[in-house]
Amino acid sequence: MALIDLPLLMKDKARGKRSAVTCALKCASQCAFGPCNHSDNPTFRDIASSALSRRTVLGGSTAALAIALGGTQGALADPGKGNGHGKGHGHGKGCGHGHGKSGALAPNGTKLRFEAIPPVEHSVDEFTVPEGFTWEPVIRWGDPLFADAPEFDWNAQSAEAQKQQFGYNNDYTEIQEIPGSHGKRAVMFVNHEYTNENLMLPPETDEDDFIEIGRAAHGLTVVELERKNKNVPYSYVQGAELNRRILLDDEFTLTGPAAGGDLLKTVEDHSGTTVLGTLGNCAGGLTPWGTLVSGEENFHGFFRTAATSEADARYGLADRATARGWESKYDRYDARNEGYENEPNRFGYIVEVDPFDPTSTPRKHTSLGRFKHEGANIIIAEDGRAVAYSGDDEAFDYLYKFVSRDTYIEGDKAHNMTLLENGDLSVARFSGDSPAGEIDGSGELPADGAFDGSGEWLPLLVGGESTVAGFSAEEVLVHTRLAADAVGPTKMDRCEDVEPSAHSRRVYVACTKNSDRGMDGNAAADEVNPRAENRDGHIIEIDEQGDQSSTTFAWNLLMVCGDPAQGDTTYFSGFPVDQVSPISCPDNLAFDSVGNLWISTDGQPGGIGYNDGLFRVSLEGEERGRVEQFLSVPRDGETCGPIIQDEDRTAFVAVQHPGEDGEWGAQNSYFPDYAGVGPKPSVVQVLPQRGAPGRH
Ligand code: FEO
Ligand code: CA
Ligand code: CA
Ligand code: CA
């Protein structure tokens, strides 16, 4: 049938090695149409020449920066260290990779000790964990959530059943213990970014079912978990009190300065304050007050528009049939319809959900701006205000920071739940401290031995008022990309998760990749995005220098990713490149209880050739930059939503789009049950085997 064929028709347009189906279903083949950011805002090189004077103004000499960063940058003290290529290391794929000596060491004293696994070839349909560990699915696509929800049946799917079952393509995942349960009960929040109808449904599926089952598999899930004790895996509890599915026709309340404005009104919502559903939810974060925030990312792929406005073009909204064809049935997905022109303006926000109140109305916060939010992560600043960091995950788009107007009050959840409704929004401009001529796009370190420098948060909205000439406050928050273009932020290599460490208060930014960097007239490599045709990504470390609400910061690159054994130019903060697990395309970030960084990846198969996985990275002392692979997900899958509970020696990941390159009748993956039927995206727990039977 025509609709389900659409993604496959996109094959010719997909670039790079990523699955054409992924491109079509996940981000509407955005890369096929080139970068959305054609703004001529000042490039990094243009401002690099003024970097030294700016750093002087900020008091940020190189020596001062080294001190500010806690003396953790070995490379600063030893210029050039760690810039090797790892050639001749003798690493054979799948046969171990310099990890042997690290297993017994537990960085920073974490209880989660493991021997790093070797990378796993991308054709392997297995979930791989370290020796002595096992894994169990906690919940799978289609698992019934409510007391009378039907069991999943591959051959008798319906929208009504799917609405009562766990959705597809779990991404951001968070687990909070239910108070008073003594570690035996928890509530889990999961979002469902998009659907793979090619794997889910037989090609002969009725067109209406194709649309409705797909829609019902999107949205959000809240579900309770239980376990007898910490030595056994969690199971989800069907019919539990907090279980909830938030679907595409459920109401969200818009908050903040843009709510109620003309840009957000439609013929179905004259108030401009109530939106049905959330789309493209990707990463997210746990707020200090116990709610969850989740980012609406590739929302543009769900809408067809007249594409006559500059704003539509800037967001990739187009006058093209969408991959799923919902606009053929619902007027609101076709913004060409009179009265629906603003419907796409109502997506692209940070949403907030209270998992402990099943009757609460989820909200979309316009204060944090509208873009392809990967997610948001929040830390309370020294002055008590809530600070949220959020990346716009598109090639050459920007990094943002929100600082709340009001301050956090410990224990006052109702008050704290208003913090994201009003505040200041800014966007990052990075300056490097090395001469532009030393950043040649190869990824080789400059002469000072570090990719580093200073930065500014350029204001977009302050005190509820726009600071951008020609933009109202409402326009700043709805057409945020256009407003940001006007102030000259740094064009980035796809900022995914941006996560502040509660231990060091430094902020980590996963730049996943950008194959267009320096290509076809696009922005050239610069010190913070130092590699042309960036296939493997990098991680930025930001230091707000004791004031999280500051308008300036210091930064350096923690790592430049890749596989040293394959000759990639990499950098791991000076740690020997022949002693790290190869890593590419960093996506989601998390921390363990002692401050180690954990990174999950999305896209390794198309670059370094291994399945995606979860990696631990030491951040302090001589171990800084040591990367150790903890797990590997099955074929075509992306590793999402890591949760590290190292005190209990356990971790969780969401396996998204396993077997994505397959199709109904010719599946590529049978994860997680391996029972002869196709894959189910699932949340998995990894824990010590402790002699119990299990998978390993
Ligand atoms: Fe949905 Fe940016 O990954
Ligand atoms: Ca430098
Ligand atoms: Ca992501
Ligand atoms: Ca991703």
Q: One-letter amino acid identity for 682?
A: S
What's the pLDDT score for residue 91? Answer: 28
**C-alpha dist (Å) from residue 266 to 58, 304, 342, 473:** 46, 15, 6, 20
The residues facing 189 across adjacent strands are 174, 222
Instruction: Check pLDDT > 70 for residue 97.
Output: no
Q: Which amino acid is at 655?
A: V
Predicted local confidence at residue 3, as pLDDT? 45
Query: Which residues are CB-contacts of 12 (< 8 A; sequence separation ≥ 6)?
Result: none
Instruction: State yes or no: pLDDT of 80 exceeds 70.
Output: no
C-alpha 339/C-alpha 332 separation (Å) is 9
- pLDDT(62) > 70: no
Q: What is the pLDDT of residue 24?
A: 86
Query: Per-residue confidence at 144, pLDDT binned at 50, 70, 90?
Result: very high
Over residues 430-450, the pLDDT tens digits come to: 999 999 999 999 999 999 999
Token representation of residue 537? 């990504």
Ligand at minimal distance from the CA of 391 is: 1
Q: What is the pLDDT of residue 512?
A: 98
Whether pLDDT at 404 is above 60? yes
Output the CA 592–ligand 4 centroid distance in Å. Answer: 21
Which of 28-37, 50-59, 611-620, 687-696 has the least mean pLDDT? Answer: 50-59
CA of 474 to the centre of ligand 3 (A): 27
Using a 10 angstrom Cβ sphere, with 0-12 exposed, 13-18 middle and 19 or more buried, the burial of residue 186 is buried
Tell whether the model's pLDDT for residue 31 goes beyond 60. yes
CA distances from 374 to 76, 87, 281, 351, 524 (A): 31, 35, 8, 12, 24
Annotate 111-130 with DSSP letters as a single string: S---PPPPP-BTT----B--
377-390 mean pLDDT: 98
**Tokens in use for 191?**
């979002």
Q: Does 690 or 479 have the greater pLDDT score?
A: 479
- Residues 318-342, mean pLDDT to the nearest whole number: 98
β-pair type (244-246, 219-226): antiparallel
Residue 662 DSSP label: -
Distance from C-alpha of 171 to C-alpha of 280, rounded to nearest angstrom = 10
Sheet containing strand 350-353, edge to edge, reads 274-276, 251-255, 363-365, 350-353, 292-296, 281-286
With cut-offs at 50, 70 and 90, classify the pLDDT of residue 63. very low
Q: What is the pLDDT of residue 51?
A: 35
Stretch 538-547: mean pLDDT, rounded? 98
Q: How far is CA 281 from CA 148, 219, 297, 513, 668, in A?
A: 27, 8, 6, 20, 25
The pLDDT value given to residue 126: 98
User: What pLDDT score was predicted for residue 691?
Assistant: 55
CB-based contact 368:296 (threshold 8 Å): no
Return the structure tokens found at 166: 């766990």
496 CB less than 6 Å from ligand 1? Answer: yes
Q: In this predicted structure, what is the pLDDT of residue 17?
A: 54
Taking each helix axis from N to C terminus, what angle separates 2-9 and 207-216, rounded to the nearest 10 degrees? 60
User: What is the reported pLDDT for 603?
Assistant: 97
The span from the CA of 270 to the CA of 268, in Å, is: 6
On the question of pLDDT at 84 being above 60, the answer is no
User: What is the predicted pLDDT for the residue at 690?
Assistant: 82
- Taking residues 475-495, what's their average pLDDT? 98
Q: Which two tokens stand for residue 632?
A: 């590997």
pLDDT of amino acid 487 = 98
The mean-pLDDT minimum among 9-23, 159-173, 196-210, 366-380 falls in 9-23
Centre of ligand 4 to C-alpha 606, Å, is: 13
User: Taking a C-beta distance cutoff of 8 angstroms, is the pair 79, 463 a contact?
Assistant: no
Q: Is the pLDDT of residue 96 over 80?
A: no
Q: Is 497 in the pocket of ligand 1 (CB under 6 A)?
A: no
Distance of CA 693 to the CA centre of its chain: 33
Atom of ligand 1 nearest to the CA of 26: 1
Output the six-digit token pair for 95.
């046969």
| Residue 278 dihedral angles phi and psi, to the nearest 5° | -135, 145
Rounded CA-CA distance 526/431 in Å is 9
What is d(CA 153, CA 417) in angstroms, rounded to the nearest whole number?
A: 39
Query: Does 212 contact ligand 1 (Cβ within 6 A)?
Result: no
374 Cβ closer than 6 Å to some ligand 1 atom: yes
Average pLDDT on 41-61 reads 38
Does ligand 1 have an atom closer than 6 angstroms to the CB of 661?
A: no
Identity at 406, one-letter amino acid code:
D
SS3 423: strand
- Residue 481: per-residue pLDDT: 98
Residues whose beta carbons lie less than 5 angstroms from ion ligand 3: 282-283, 496, 587
pLDDT band at 7 (very low <50, low <70, confident <90, very high): very low
Pocket lining: 397 vs ligand 1, CB cutoff 6 Å: no
pLDDT of 64 above 60: no
In short, whether 193's Cβ falls inside 6 Å of ligand 1 is yes
Q: Kindly state the tokens that stand for 74.
A: 């070995």
Q: Note the pLDDT of residue 42.
A: 52
SS3 of residue 88 by DSSP: coil
- Between residues 277 and 81, the one the model is more confident about: 277
Classify burial at 230, counting beta carbons within 10 Å of its beta carbon; exposed 0-12, middle 13-18, buried 19 or more: middle
Instruction: State the pLDDT at residue 20.
Output: 76
> Among 95-109, 129-143, 149-163, 334-348, whose mean pLDDT is lowest?
95-109
CB contact set of 503 (below 8 Å; sequence gap of 6+): 591, 594, 595
Could you read off the pLDDT of 575-614 as tens digits, one per residue? 999 999 999 999 999 999 999 999 999 999 999 999 999 9
pLDDT-wise least confident of 33-37, 133-137, 326-330, 388-392: 33-37
Tell me the pLDDT tens digit for each residue of 238-274.
999 999 999 999 999 999 999 999 999 999 999 999 9
Question: What is the C-alpha separation between 417 and 289, in angstroms, rounded?
Answer: 7
Average pLDDT over residues 370-375: 98
pLDDT for the residue numbered 100: 37
Nearest residue to 378 via CA among 348, 429, 423, 346: 423
Question: What average pLDDT does this structure show over 557-580?
Answer: 98
Residue 688 CA to residue 231 CA, distance in Å, equals: 8
Cβ of residue 485 lying under 6 Å from some atom of ligand 1 = no
**pLDDT at residue 105 in the model:** 65
Mean pLDDT of the chain: 89
Per-residue pLDDT averaged across 342-366, rounded? 98
Q: For residue 307, which phi and psi values (nearest 5 degrees)?
A: 55, 40
Which amino acid residue places its CA nearest to atom 1 of ligand 1? 282
Residue 693 backbone class (left: φ over 0; alpha: ψ -120 to 50; beta: rest):
beta
Q: What percent of the chain has pLDDT over 70?
A: 87
* pTM for this entry: 0.90
How far CA 539 is from CA of 1, 189, 518, 535, 601, in Å, comes to: 43, 26, 19, 13, 12
**Of 497, 484, 313, which Cα lies nearest the Cα of 393?**
497
